Amino acid sequence: MDDSIKLLDETLEYINHEVIKDTIYINVKSSKEVAYCPDCNTSSQRIHSHYQRSFQDLPISGKKSIVNLNNRKFFCNNKDCNRRTFSEKFDFIGDKAKKTKRLEAEIINLSKNMRSISASKLLRENIATVGKSTVCNILKKRNTNT
């Protein structure tokens, strides 16, 4: 479990997990000491607050997985910056995304040669809870990126 989390980001620390039916809920926190303001790139170690962020990740041992991250907000130390606080960011997931990039890649892989309705059925049974429109959106996003 810890390994799978570390593959997302080395600074994530596994806390514990719970299995409910076909889903593993994994609680993790970040151990990064410094974060950088997205606007001015100034480093900060001053934590403003914590909040829970949850997202879907690749299945583990045949179970869907949902990661609950204890995400942090930092103060920006730069007096000239318009931003007072900012959320900690990670490379493995988009800012507002509900799925990790590696899960999206897996969804694309499985869906590209199928109709989205069959893809979402297959994904729901084996990978993650995704609707037909989510599959369409992810495929669309990929097509505009390439």
Are the CB atoms for 19 and 63 separated by under 8 Å?
Answer: yes
User: How far is 2 from 115, CA to CA, in rounded Å?
Assistant: 35
The 3-state DSSP class for residue 145 equals helix
Contacts of 45 (CB under 8 A, 6+ apart): 33, 34, 35, 74
State which of positions 74-133 bind Zn ion (CB under 5 A): 76, 78, 81, 83
> Stretches 6-14, 32-40, 93-101, 134-142: which one binds Zn ion (CB under 5 A)?
32-40
Write out the E strands in 61-139.
63-75, 85-87
Nearest distance in Å: CB 44, Zn ion: 8
Binding flag, residue 37, Zn ion (CB under 5 A): yes
Of 24 and 76, the one with the shorter C-beta distance to Zn ion is 76
As given in the structure block, the two tokens for residue 131 are 């609707």
- Compute the least distance from the CB of residue 89 to Zn ion, in Å: 13
Nearer to Zn ion, 3 or 33 (CB): 33
Is residue 73 near Zn ion by the rule CB under 5 A?
no
**Amino acid letter at 53?**
R
22 sits near Zn ion (criterion: CB under 5 A): no
Residues that bind Zn ion in the complex, under the rule CB under 5 A: 37, 39-40, 76, 78, 81, 83
